[in-house]
Chains A and B, each alone.
Chain A
Amino acid sequence: DGGITQSPKYLFRKEGQNVTLSCEQNLNHDAMYWYRQDPGQGLRLIYYSQIVNDFQKGDIAEGYSVSREKKESFPLTVTSAQKNPTAFYLCASSMIFQETQYFGPGTRLLVL
């Protein structure tokens, strides 16, 4: 089955720790995106990538980093510089940049 997978489903971070969220797609999509969702809110764009080895900052990139070494994979690292990381993180992909986006199931990040 084609789709987008995210892992883990739940992630706990200690103060000062960097954590990495995984996003993999087998849809052969060129573009991939990371969003953050806070309770009762819409989604905000963290980073996006239109093609392998290229990525751009979104609205709220501070405290986050990404890489795009493979077409299928777009991992997100939440660094210790992100002071309020508790949120629901969603990864998406699309065939062409900003065309119809398809989402993974999300990762809930909690701070201990």
Chain B
Amino acid sequence: DTAVSQTPKYLVTQMGNDKSIKCEQNLGHDTMYWYKQDSKKFLKIMFSYNNKELIINETVPNRFSPKSPDKAHLNLHINSLELGDSAVYFCASSQESWGPYNEQFFGPGTRLTVL
């Protein structure tokens, strides 16, 4: 059974388009995250939600907007895509946002290519 799933796995699109990436976790976790991994493999946190509430909002462009319809889902919508948005985006979840249960479980990633 997949613990953290993301769709789509690959996304190729033109500059200026709007796209969404969906994430679902079936672990019953309270906290979910979005990370961006660039071509040099650097992992940078973008957002974190705890029980549908935004708790971490890194300095990312306003074109990126997370949405958490319920505790098990955290979607990422990106407006007006730019070349620099090309990266692998990972969703992750953890039982809590801190403490000994902060082990983060990552999804398989979505490779976004902006042409």
Q: Is chain B found bound to chain A in the same assembly? A: no
